DNA sequence: CAGCAGGGGGCGT
DNA sequence: CGCCCCCTGCTGT
């Protein structure tokens, strides 16, 4: 790798982490922008995920301007929905053999990529479903492979609720990936030796470590359990049913409350809790968009409110998911949410005229970065004067300018920084662009500011400076 | 201690 | 107004 060589930086655990974060976001109901309703249960999920995994949803959202539509899945069972969601979020779903045909049918109904295989009879698909063991290879690359053994889980094959919250147990790269693996499994259905082959060594180590620690806590777990085929039937049954159920129960009431409270019209609820869409005539088989009432007023604010939190919690890690999130179409709101992380409402104003030439994701990433810096205390941006405390401390009397909005002249297009001088802004911009135009002639040192280079020269190449001064 | 980054004065155009 | 230059505080090693 010589000078100028390209370095390929790869995030070893990226896919697994990605899936995990997705699942986490779903669990925490962060950024959810669509709610699936089925049998009286509500599943706040993400359009992005749904449309990624299903052209059906994709086109549905495409034609639905509503910010937070409620989609009533009428001809589906809630457990099917849960399974499908698990499949879409985690890339893997555990299903009892008996329920497989039902699930596949549901998947076909919703055109879920990788699961919907209309051309082939369910039987064949069943064979392919031996793949869950294989999918577990990615299990092990999960950041939190918290699988718990349910020795007698075979007996509860009919229960699939658990899949809903199993994502952390088995993040998958993507449904596409899953689909392709199904095909691979055709040729080697029983070969479980491949289970972990595709993982990177690092993720293996880390995950096995996680698994072991998990095993310690649960007592009977061993790493091999990531191979679901071992203890269970080819169609592995849920491992976390009770756990998951509890989580669901925790969430649903809130959902209902909030949904109802927001004036959402869900149609009528039958006595057994099933959701009946009043407008459903049964002719169209699956879902109807019920109403657009459930959107901005009640939901958007909380979303924006949650974002910074989630950025910290769910998107932990320096890289986070900025790029991914930036792909959303409604980033202005979320972006301002991030932006307000510093607690400075002023940012909202500054954000308005943000130039659009920057990809939003980029802006978001940079903004997050800069906010981080600010929160670290480099600039006291939080509240009141946006100017640096540096200036205040440095020249208490010098900071007499009223730092009001009409004074600021130069705004950074990447973050909320602003200054009264273009020079300062230019210097600042280099911190974003990475440009270091001032290079030391004696060493690889480069600087964003000439003065910094000079300082460097004085300290490290004093003789050069002396010579130069004498000339 | 070295480096980074922001503030601001001075000067030329 | 833009550029140059210097000063300064903060942070990481």
Tokens 């064949």 — which residue?
A124
d(CA A80, CA A116): 13
Comparison of pLDDT for A329 and A19, the residue scoring more: A19
State residue A462's pLDDT score: 76
State residue A436's pLDDT score: 83
User: Does residue A236 have a pLDDT over 70?
Assistant: no
User: Does residue A65 have a pLDDT over 50?
Assistant: yes
Proportion of chain A above pLDDT 90, given as a percent? 0
Indicate the range of A61-70, A116-125, A309-318 predicted with least confidence.
Answer: A309-318
Helix (H) and strand (E) counts in chain A: 19, 10
State residue A105's pLDDT score: 81
Name the nucleotide with the smallest C1'–CA separation from A457: B2
d(CA A465, CA A457): 7
pLDDT digits (tens, 9 = 90+) for A344-362: 333 333 333 333 333 333 3
DSSP conformational letter for A280: -
Amino acid A429 CA to nucleotide B6 C1' distance, rounded Å: 12
Proportion of chain A above pLDDT 70, given as a percent? 34
pTM above 0.85, yes or no: no
d(CA A106, CA A318): 39
Comparison of pLDDT for A113 and A240, the residue scoring more: A113
State residue A281's pLDDT score: 36
Distances from the Cα of A239 to the Cα of A7, A46, A147, A233, A236, angstroms: 41, 25, 6, 13, 9
Partner residues linked to A38 by β-bridges: A41
pLDDT digits (tens, 9 = 90+) for A393-413: 333 333 333 333 334 567 777
**Average pLDDT for A97-122:** 71
Most confident of A219-233, A271-285, A416-430: A416-430
User: Does residue A113 have a pLDDT over 50?
Assistant: yes
Name the nucleotide with the smallest C1'–CA separation from A434: B4
Tokens 């777990």 — which residue?
A221
**Which protein residue's Cα is closest to nucleotide C11 at C1'?**
A378
State residue A350's pLDDT score: 33
Most confident of A96-100, A197-201, A222-226, A328-332: A96-100
Q: How many CA atoms lie within 13 A of A341 on its CB side?
A: 24
**Strand C close to A393 by CB, under 7 A:** yes
User: Does residue A333 have a pLDDT over 60?
Assistant: no
User: Does residue A341 have a pLDDT over 50?
Assistant: no
d(CA A27, CA A229): 27
**Strand C close to A465 by CB, under 7 A:** no
User: Does residue A58 have a pLDDT over 70?
Assistant: yes
Residue A124 tokens, joined: 């064949």
**Strand C close to A390 by CB, under 7 A:** yes
């Amino acid at each position: 790798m010589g000078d100028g060589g390209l370095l390929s930086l790869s995030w070893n655990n990226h896919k697994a982490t990605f899936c995990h974060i997705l699942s986490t976001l779903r669990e925490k109901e962060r950024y959810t922008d669509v709610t699936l309703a089925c049998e009286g249960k509500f599943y706040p999920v993400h359009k992005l995920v749904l449309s990624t995994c299903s052209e059906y949803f994709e086109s549905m959202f495409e034609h639905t301007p509503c910010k937070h539509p409620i989609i009533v899945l009428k001809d589906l069972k809630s457990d099917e929905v849960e399974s499908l969601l698990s499949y879409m979020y985690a890339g893997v779903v555990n299903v009892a053999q008996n329920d497989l045909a039902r699930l596949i049918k549901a998947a076909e109904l919703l055109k879920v990529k990788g699961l919907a295989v209309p051309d082939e009879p369910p039987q064949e698909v069943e064979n392919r479903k031996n793949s869950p063991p294989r999918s577990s290879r990615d299990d092990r690359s999960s950041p939190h492979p918290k699988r718990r053994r349910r020795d007698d889980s075979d007996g509860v094959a009919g229960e699939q609720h658990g899949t809903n919250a199993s994502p952390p147990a088995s993040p998958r790269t993507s449904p596409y990936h899953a689909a392709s693996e199904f095909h691979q499994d055709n040729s080697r259905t029983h070969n479980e030796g491949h289970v972990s082959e595709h993982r990177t060594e690092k993720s293996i180590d880390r995950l096995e470590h996680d698994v072991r620690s998990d095993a310690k806590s649960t007592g009977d777990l061993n790493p091999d359990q990531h191979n679901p085929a071992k203890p269970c039937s080819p169609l592995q049954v849920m491992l976390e049913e009770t756990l998951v159920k509890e989580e669901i129960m925790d969430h649903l009431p809130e959902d209902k409350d909030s949904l109802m409270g927001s004036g959402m019209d869900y149609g009528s609820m039958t006595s057994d809790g099933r959701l009946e869409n009043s407008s459903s005539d049964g002719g169209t088989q699956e879902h109807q968009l019920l109403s657009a009432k459930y959107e901005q007023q009640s939901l958007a604010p909380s979303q924006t409110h949650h974002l910074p939190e989630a950025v910290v919690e769910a998107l932990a890690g320096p890289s986070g998911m900025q790029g991914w999130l930036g792909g959303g179409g409604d980033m202005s709101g979320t972006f301002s949410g991030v932006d307000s992380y510093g607690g400075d409402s002023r940012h909202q104003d500054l954000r308005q005229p943000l130039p659009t030439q920057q990809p939003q994701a980029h802006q978001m990433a940079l903004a997050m970065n800069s906010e981080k810096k600010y929160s670290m205390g480099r600039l006291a941006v939080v509240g009141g004067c946006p100017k640096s405390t540096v200036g205040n401390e440095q020249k208490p009397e010098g900071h007499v300018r009223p730092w009001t909005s009409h004074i600021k002249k130069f705004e950074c297009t990447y973050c909320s920084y602003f200054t009264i001088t273009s020079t300062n802004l230019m210097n600042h911009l280099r911190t974003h662009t990475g440009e270091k135009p001032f290079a030391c002639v004696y060493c690889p040192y480069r600087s964003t500011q000439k003065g910094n280079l000079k300082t460097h020269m004085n300290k490290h190449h004093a003789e050069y400076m002396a010579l130069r001064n004498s000339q």
